[in-house]
Each structure stands twice: as C-alpha cells, then as structure tokens.
Structure 1
Amino acid sequence: MIPGRELFNAGIHLHGGPAPVRQYLPRLIDLIWRREIDPGKVFDLVLPLDRAAEVYQAMDQRRAVKVLLTV
C-alpha cells in the first residue's frame, strides 16, 4: 500500500479512468472457452515498483493486461 500523504508531499500524481474492457472482452472470452488462458489468474506480470515504466510498454505491446507492482 502506498501512503497517499507521502505521494501528495512528493508531488506525485495518480490518475485513473475507464478501461476499454468491452473492446477486449470477446477475444478474452474466446481464449477462456478454448482454455488458452486461465481466468483465475489475475495478474499476468509482476514487477518491482522501480520498473513501473516498463508496465506501459508491456501493456502497449499486449504482453500484459493486469500488472502487479511490488515494493
């Protein structure tokens, strides 16, 4: 967990917004039905927090959908 007060004092901003889930849903359902992916697996990539910039590249290249950043 990241303390919000520390982020605020450091001038760091966290932003969120809607995800284009409906765009990917038909393909994901197909992969689940064909047992090519396991829907029970939530995170498909785990990286330390200091490599967070790599997350955007992995998602852009469709190597990751849901990433867990660890401290």
Structure 2
Amino acid sequence: MFKYQDGSDILIGDSVLFENGKTNGIVELIVVSEEEMKNINVNEAGIMVKSQPFGLAYLSEYWLKNDPLLFVSHAPA
C-alpha cells in the first residue's frame, strides 16, 4: 500500500498535489499487484492521478519515491 510522508494511507478519491506541489489531482487508481500491473500494461506499481492539464497520469513507485504525493483532502463521504 502507498502512504503519504506522514504514514497515512493514500486512498482512491484523495485530492493530492504532485510535481513538487505544483499540480493538483485526484487519485483514480492504486496499482500494487502483478495482476493489476498486467491489466493496465505497466511494469511497476504506482498511482493513477486525474489532473488538469494532463488528464490521467501514471506515477510509478520509483517516481513517487523521488517526488511524493502531498495530501490535500480525502474524498467526501
């Protein structure tokens, strides 16, 4: 499971910042298993974020280690 820097879990629907806090987005998909990676044709675990102006952006585990997601808020219940 992916976590924010404070140790809390990253959840689908969370509002986040990426690109060193410059770009906002919503967590759309969290990919951790080999089957999930195969289903979306990626070689590494990661997180799919929906963002303007990019649309959907896949952030690999390697990328996230170098530029962690910053938590903004959880999705409304």
TM-score of the pair, normalised by structure 1: 0.24
Structure that is richer in helix per residue: 1
TM-score normalized by the length of structure 2:
0.23
| Higher RCO (CA < 8 A, seq sep 6+) | 2
More strand by share: 2
